[in-house]
Amino acid sequence: MLKSRPAVRALYNNLKASVATGAFVVRSAETLTEYTATGDSVLDLALMLDVAVRSARPDAWRGVHAKEQVIKAALYTVLQDRDEVERLFQIVKAQGEY
């Protein structure tokens, strides 16, 4: 099942903590695509980020600044928040799935 993958779980857990503390506000459900409409806005966002990273990631991107910027740009497209991109990029970078 898509939601049970470790990378999505890591994104979800970190987003949930960020939303709970008020550090990040999940955008309106109207911005979510149909395939991610789970009813849980944090899960929907985690799934959107997962798709964005998987779609954008170049081969052997870790440690290559230009390639890492591609991943960050994909995250920014979804999040629209530079601080949250920088924070979640470290989570993405630590996930072997990506």
pLDDT band at 1 (very low <50, low <70, confident <90, very high): very low
Higher-pLDDT residue of 27 and 39 is: 39
CA distances from 19 to 4, 43, 82 (A): 20, 12, 15
User: Do 98 and 53 form a contact (C-beta atoms < 8 A)?
Assistant: yes
Residue span of the structural domain in which 57 resides? 2-94
Per the structure, the count of domains in the chain is: 1
pLDDT band at 51 (very low <50, low <70, confident <90, very high): very high
Average pLDDT score over the chain: 86
* pTM, entire model: 0.83
Q: For the chain, give the percent of residues with pLDDT over 90.
A: 65
- Distance between CA atoms of 56 and 58, rounded to whole angstroms? 6
Average pLDDT value for residue range 56-60: 96
